[in-house]
Structure 1
Amino acid sequence: MTHSIQQLSAQWAQAVLSQNISQVMAFYADELIAYDAVAQLQFKGKVAYKAHWQRCMEFCAGGHSKFELRDLTIQQNDQIAFSHALVYCEGSNEKGETQGCWMRLTQGWQMQQGQWRILHDHFSVPFDMVSGAVLFELTPEA
């Protein structure tokens, strides 16, 4: 029996929070395409995305103090699933400085050999069209 996307999303978020790169990457398909909010336009393949996740976790050398999914919404059939949520990510660097913000997360899942795998990952942060500034201060309550 396969786990539900809701259960898998919670397990994935816990793996991110614990900074366990092997557990995080176990959720992804080899042929993954990721649009992350950090560093570059896209990542093609699990190997490239693993290197990116590793860099992100190293940036938060003091650990992730929060990684929260909110308003998770899922649509699925027996082969394909689509989920989206707001995600709050907060971590501290080696100096103990804490940074965090709300982002938007969309994930495309595919059933592969009896297991759900993330085939597409998309993190984004809104920006102001006039100034070009990223709107890190936005919250779900605003």
Structure 2
Amino acid sequence: MSQTNPTLSQLHNQIDQWLQAIKRSDFAAICSHYTEDVRAFDAVKQLQFRQADYLAHWQQCLEMCPNHLAFDLKDIQIRHSADLAIMYALLYCAGVNDKGEVQGCWMRVTQGWQQQQGQWRIFHDHFSAPFDMVTGAALFDLQPDAA
């Protein structure tokens, strides 16, 4: 008989709460999922973010994309110990632009999670999109393998 891993269940629950906060554009709830010393490598704007700058970046992203339709993870993988975890997955992000057109793409996300005072918090975010080395263009039209 298979037993449920409580740490894995807690992590999946926290990840789902983080996703739901983003889908609701709930800035305070999004912020509550990050450690005070978060370091992030986002796919846009700058090479890296630290602490308050990253949360301000999240606020800007929410303001830029008020009509988002999707922020969904696929193929989530989690590796964990008692107080540290790494989550990696594919992320589909889509929204409606000012012309009413749906724009979206698949990206990659890796997160470092740390147990702090009984709660799992993100200490590292990394969002990225693959690019063509010859042209330097981001490859936003890639799709996950249908396996």
The TM-score with structure 2 as length reference comes to: 0.89
- Residues of 1 paired with 2:76 and 2:90: CA distance? 7
What amino acid is aligned across from residue 56 of structure 1 in structure 2?
A: C
Q: Quick check: which has more Rg, 1 or 2? A: 2
2:129 aligns with 125
Q: How many equivalent pairs are there?
A: 140
1:60 aligns with 65
Superposed structure 1 runs of 4+ greater than 4 Å apart: none
Match of 1:30 among 36, 40, 50: 36
Q: Which blocks of at least 5 consecutive residues in structure 1 are unaligned?
A: none
Tell me if the contact between 1:73 and 1:83 (Cα under 8 Å) persists in the aligned partners: yes
- Residues of 2 paired with 1:77 and 1:103: CA distance? 26
Give the C-alpha shift of residue 95 in structure 1.
4.0
Q: Which blocks of at least 5 consecutive residues in structure 2 are unaligned?
A: 1-5
Match of 2:85 among 66, 71, 81: 81
- Residues of 2 paired with 1:6 and 1:121: CA distance? 16
2:22 counterpart of 1:16: yes
1:140 aligns with 144
Give the C-alpha shift of residue 96 in structure 1.
2.8
- Kindly, what percent of the aligned residue pairs are identical? 51
- Residues of 2 paired with 1:56 and 1:123: CA distance? 13
The TM-score with structure 1 as length reference comes to: 0.92
What amino acid is aligned across from residue 16 of structure 2 in structure 1?
A: A
